[in-house]
Amino acid sequence: MTMLKVQNLKASIGNVEILKGIDLEIGNGELHAVMGPNGSGKSTLCHVLMGNNDYQAKGEVTLNGDDILSIPQNERAKKGIFQSFQYPVGLPGVTLKEFTESFLGDIEEEELIKMSKTFDLEDFLDRDVNVDLSGGEKKRSEIFQLSLMKPSLALLDEIDSGLDIDAIKSVASLINENRDEKTSYILVTHYSRILKYLDVDKVHIVVNGKIVKSGSNELIEEVDSGGYTQYQEEN
């Protein structure tokens, strides 16, 4: 069953067009990787799907059959869209426990502690969100929040950025372990490193604001061997 359907999505900032007609369809529980060179528009896709007001967007986007392009960011979040960031923002004065309770409501403390242990974050519950944490700890915290929220669509923007190989493996393992039919993923990345540890359903190559090629995991190896220049030359 189709969870997200994107048709002819275009987006711009002022007079600069960044997305130039994106078509994308993701089924329930699927993980799609979006790869491309710097400045190709892959992160913009996440921002536009989340409803970032910096962009003027047009086209058709439905989530579980409902139009979302016409509704504001907070309403999209309520409909089940979660976005992680390349550089997670710190929240001084707000502990991880307080933050999770703010969107979960009356979750039992025992259950919260149990979940945090799964992510090796029990000692972080009473610490401020994303303050004085390493890159890997911040990304684990975001996956922890994602697992608690159980969104329909998770937008993971450069979640492997700045991580060493051990942290990449750890984050990938947490994503794999917490996947189910309720949540679909768009994972944006410039490099193939994290994709080697994930169960990816489909790969899309974005160049100059368009998806120029889609396929299986074989595309990951194609990028590794030939880089993105091969697609830029074709387009």
DSSP for 208-219? TTEEEEEESTHH
- The class level of CATH for 2-88+151-234 reads alpha beta
pLDDT by residue, tens only, the chain of 235 residues = 889 999 999 999 999 999 999 999 999 999 999 999 999 999 999 999 999 999 999 999 999 999 999 999 999 998 999 988 777 777 899 888 888 887 777 677 788 888 888 788 888 888 888 888 887 788 888 888 888 888 999 999 988 887 888 888 888 988 898 888 989 999 999 889 999 999 999 999 999 999 999 999 899 999 999 999 988 766 5
Sequence-distant (6+) residues with CB within 8 A of 221 are none
Contact 26, 2 (CB under 8 A): yes
- Domain extent listing, the chain: 2-88+151-234
Contact 180, 29 (CB under 8 A): yes
pTM (2 d.p.): 0.88
Nearest residue to 6 via CA among 50, 51, 61: 61
Contact 203, 214 (CB under 8 A): yes
Instruction: Return d(Cα 77, Cα 199) in angstroms, integer.
Output: 25
The predicted pLDDT at position 117 comes to 84
